[in-house]
Structure 1
Amino acid sequence: MIHSVPKNKIEQVIVKYADMIFRIAYQNLKSKADAEDIFQEVCVTLLTKNPPLDDEKHLKYWLIRVTINKCNNFHKSFWHNKIESIDKYTELEQPQTKAVMEEIWQLPKQYRNVIYLYYYEDYSIAEIARIMDKSQNTISSQLQRARKRLGKILSEGGL
């Protein structure tokens, strides 16, 4: 059921957070097409659920959580396990950015999400803990482990 939220308010939310939603999905799925599908699913969820539209901070948390959950569900799907990504064969515009992102993609999912939220969305450890529904100590440990792994991978790769 679609709620009676003003259409222009939904459009404003989608325009404002489209890039963030897509980047989180792309970072999790490593596929532009799959990230676009997740983006559409998040938009449908935004229309069918009743998120906190009047509170920017909670709305952003809600969108991040929904996006991550949709990505997690996608990873579990039969379809995902049976197809090969076409994005493996496409190139990013900047070779060094591509190399770093490929190394980030090699990290376990919980580390990828923490790295993304901390460095690309500028969330604090406390905010990430609330978004991910984990303790601050857990997030701090995951961030430390992710940095260590990524640093080792990048130094071995010559970046």
Structure 2
Amino acid sequence: MEEEKRQRDEEMVARQGPRVYRLAFAQLRSKADAEDVFQEVFLRYVEKEPAFESQEHEKAWFLRVTLNCCRNVWRAPWHKRHVPLDESLPFETRDQWGLHQELLKLPPKYRVVLHLFYWEDLPAAEIGRITGAKPAAVRQRLKRARAMMKEILEEEGLQNV
């Protein structure tokens, strides 16, 4: 029985781990903080043992908990320090790394909707449920974020990325 639970937990880490780490890193910009959030998210999973209705519900739960843990890190008084970025990142290509660097220039509320929309392939309604915003607000943030990104990319001469 204990062995089955351990195996299920390991499968969940393998399935949701990359998504959790990618979002945590995108939000916190620190490998160490992203690893801390990763551990916290899966600790909460093991402690709460949530029952998921579907794969989408599972995905949404992990994304929501990850965002909540990231917010807790931002609120922590010790988080005022700055840590340089490490180049060994969870991106498949240098273009993705470059795009991520430009994405970091956006305010967090715009960065998170772009990340969830493009990297996690979520619709606006689901992003709204995860972030606590109305779908119309998510669509507006996406529109503004795209405009900001276009401006940033044009300034950098990277509009074809």
TM-score relative to the length of structure 1: 0.87
Bigger shift: residues 69-78 or 43-52 = 43-52
Distance 2:96 2:58 in 1: 29
Unaligned runs of 5+ in 2: none
Distance 1:23 1:118 in 2: 13
The superposition leaves residues 70-104 of structure 1 with CA deviations (integer Å, 9 ceiling, x where unpaired) of 001101111211x22132x6476855433321211
Bigger shift: residues 5-14 or 66-75 = 5-14
Q: Where in structure 2 are the equivalents of 1:39-78 lying within 5 Å?
A: 39-53=38-52, 55-78=54-77
In structure 2, the partner of 1:86 is: 84
Distance 1:97 1:58 in 2: 27
Bigger shift: residues 142-151 or 132-141 = 132-141
Output the aligned Cα RMSD. Answer: 1.9
Code of the aligned partner of 1:140: R
1:139–1:41 Cα change, 3 Å: same
In structure 2, the partner of 1:139 is: 138
Which secondary structure does the structure 2 equivalent of 1:6 belong to?
helix
1:54–1:8 Cα change, 3 Å: farther
Code of the aligned partner of 2:141: Q
Unaligned runs of 5+ in 1: none
Q: Where in structure 2 are the equivalents of 1:1-159 lying within 5 Å?
A: 6-53=5-52, 55-81=54-80, 83-87=81-85, 90=87, 95-159=94-158
Code of the aligned partner of 1:149: M
CA shift for structure 1 position 52? 2.3
Distance 1:115 1:125 in 2: 10
Distance 2:154 2:97 in 1: 16
Which secondary structure does the structure 1 equivalent of 2:133 belong to?
coil
CA shift for structure 1 position 56? 1.9
Distance 1:76 1:70 in 2: 10
Bigger shift: residues 50-59 or 132-141 = 50-59
Distance 2:63 2:126 in 1: 12
% identity of equivalent residues: 35
Distance 1:33 1:135 in 2: 32
TM-score relative to the length of structure 2: 0.86
Distance 2:118 2:108 in 1: 15
The superposition leaves residues 7-40 of structure 1 with CA deviations (integer Å, 9 ceiling, x where unpaired) of 2222211110110000000000111121111101
Distance 2:43 2:88 in 1: 30
Distance 1:71 1:125 in 2: 21
